[in-house]
Amino acid sequence: MATPVSNTAYGIINDAMVDAGLIGEGQRPNSTQLANNLRRLSDIIYLWQTQGIKLFLQEEVQVPLVANQTRYVLGPTGNVPTPDVVMERPGQITMGYVLNTSNIRRPLVLISRHDWERLSQVTGNSGTINSFFADKQDTYVNLNIWPPPDSTEAANQAWFLMRTQATAPISLTSTTSFPQEWRIALRWGLADDICTGQPSEIMSRCNQKAALFRQALEDWDVEDADTRIGMDQRFYTGTREFM
pLDDT in tens, 158-194: 999 999 988 889 899 999 989 999 999 999 999 999 9
Domain ranges, ordered by start, for the chain: 1-11+18-54+196-220, 56-163
The pLDDT value given to residue 1:
47
Question: Residue 103 has what pLDDT?
Answer: 95
Closest C-alpha to 147, from 133, 129, 160, 161: 129
- So what's the pLDDT on residue 226? 78
Angstrom distance (rounded) from CA 42 to CA 40: 5
pLDDT at residue 235, rounded to an integer:
52
pLDDT confidence of residue 3: 47
Per-10-residue mean pLDDT, the chain, length 243: 70 96 94 96 94 90 97 90 93 96 96 95 93 96 97 97 90 91 96 97 97 94 78 54 49
Q: Rounded to an integer, what distance in angstroms lies between the CA atom of residue 121 and that of residue 148?
A: 10
pTM (two decimals): 0.83
Q: What is the largest CA-CA distance in the chain?
A: 70
Residue 9: closest CA among 186, 165, 181: 186
pLDDT of residue 25: 87
pLDDT value at position 229?
Answer: 67
Which pLDDT belongs to residue 101?
A: 93
User: d(Cα 228, Cα 221) in Å, to the nearest integer?
Assistant: 17
- What pLDDT score was predicted for residue 234? 54
